[in-house]
């Protein structure tokens, strides 16, 4: 089986152009599977539904999390699809296996006073601090993805209408909006920071790094990590946490879920509905703390 595994790994790397991390995960999953089949004296070409069920039980007993088991199933589904395309097998037995149910994890979010604490770490007018304040303001004001943030161009911004055209997943464009605080941060950045950071270079992009180039996703993450460390906040905050916080605050303040879906650029409203669980939890917490008959 090892030869065909390596052939499959070459295929996903060279032809499908999968990332190195994905290839490594596939390799780990496939050799784990090969180890199991060898132990059980099973032929990988003669696997059936019952064999797969037993393998899932094996992974559970090995303390694999549901997410890890589902990743294994996804890997093996792809592997057997590859075997089917090469006509080594007639059909893929993993196509009849559903992923196991996972507990839905509610996305973490921060509160408004914690956002103010972040801003307070940027307490001077150094060009980098001016830029970083705008990063925080834009993420919080719009709920955009970090990939959308770094790809904002100057001509995407309409300060008069307080709106920005962003390009989301699948290059789908949408309009997002910002308020007066973010408007002030944009003007301050243009007037007092961006040209200094450019170092006589030219760029159509809004955000510039300290070498005059364009900021990357990784650069934004490092900036936020440093801000959180400086703020001494005891919560994990990533660029995506701003998106969660934006959605939660909008729903808590009465914005309808369809509007939040449009602002976030979600294709399905089911994706947006996760945030209604967050707001319901907040309502429950407030009720239990406030009502005199809610607790003894």
Residue range 112-289 forms a domain whose CATH class is mainly alpha
277 flagged as catalytic: no
Provide the pLDDT confidence category of residue 228 given band limits of 50, 70 and 90: very high
Catalytic status, residue 131: no
Q: Which of 32, 133, 145, 194 is catalytic?
A: 145
Of the candidates 32, 133, 194, 243, the residue annotated as catalytic is 243
Least confident of 199-213, 245-259, 272-286: 272-286
- 273-295 tens-digit pLDDT: 877 776 776 667 767 777 676 66
State the pLDDT at residue 105.
Answer: 67
Q: What angle do CA 184, 209, 154 make, to 5 degrees?
A: 50
Q: Catalytic site residue 243?
A: yes
Specify the pLDDT at position 163. Answer: 95
Closest among 69, 81, 84 to 32, alpha carbons compared: 69
Q: Is 217 helix (H, G, I), strand (E, B) or coil?
A: helix
Query: Is the distance from CB of 244 to CB of 139 less than 8 angstroms?
Result: no
Model pTM above 0.75? no
Q: Is 275 a catalytic residue?
A: yes
Nearest Cα residue to 47 out of 93, 90, 1, 81: 93
Residue 219 burial (10 A CB sphere; 0-12, 13-18, 19+): middle
Return the residue matching tokens 């906040």: 233
Catalytic residue flag (residue 187): no
Neighbours of 53 (CB within 10 A): 11
Catalytic residue among 169, 172, 199, 277: 169
- Please say whether the beta carbons of 75 and 31 come within 8 A: no
Average pLDDT over residues 84-113: 86
Query: CB of 98 within 8 A of CB of 59?
Result: no
**Mean pLDDT value of segment 44-53:** 93
pLDDT category of residue 162 using cuts at 50, 70 and 90: very high
How would CATH label the architecture of 2-96?
Answer: Orthogonal Bundle (1.10)
Domain ranges of the chain: 2-96, 112-289
């Amino acid at each position: 089986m090892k030869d065909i595994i390596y052939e499959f790994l070459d295929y996903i790397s060279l032809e499908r152009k999968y990332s190195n991390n994905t290839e490594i995960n596939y390799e780990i999953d496939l050799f784990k599977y090969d180890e199991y089949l060898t132990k059980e004296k099973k032929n990988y070409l003669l696997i059936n539904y019952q064999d797969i069920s037993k393998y899932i039980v094996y992974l559970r007993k090995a303390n694999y999390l549901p997410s890890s088991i589902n990743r294994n199933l996804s890997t093996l589904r792809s592997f057997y699809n590859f075997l089917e395309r090469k006509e080594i097998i007639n059909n893929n037995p993993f196509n009849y296996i559903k992923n196991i149910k996972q507990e839905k994890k509610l996305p973490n979010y921060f509160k408004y006073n914690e956002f103010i604490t972040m801003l307070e770490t940027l307490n001077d007018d150094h060009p980098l601090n001016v830029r970083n304040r705008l990063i925080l303001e834009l993420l919080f004001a719009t709920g955009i993805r970090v990939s959308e943030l770094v790809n904002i161009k100057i001509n995407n911004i309409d300060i008069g209408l307080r709106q920005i055209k962003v390009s989301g997943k699948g290059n789908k464009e949408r309009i997002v909006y910002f308020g007066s605080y973010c408007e002030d941060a944009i003007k301050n950045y243009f007037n007092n920071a961006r040209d200094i950071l450019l170092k006589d270079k030219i760029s159509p992009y809004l955000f510039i790094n300290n070498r005059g180039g364009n900021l990357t996703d990784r650069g934004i993450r490092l900036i936020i990590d440093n801000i959180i460390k400086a703020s001494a906040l005891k919560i994990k905050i990533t660029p995506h946490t701003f998106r969660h916080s934006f959605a939660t605050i909008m729903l808590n303040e009465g914005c309808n879920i369809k509007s939040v879906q449009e602002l976030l650029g979600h294709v399905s409203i089911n994706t947006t509905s996760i945030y209604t669980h967050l707001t319901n939890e907040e309502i429950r917490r407030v009720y239990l703390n406030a009502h005199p008959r809610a607790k003894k």
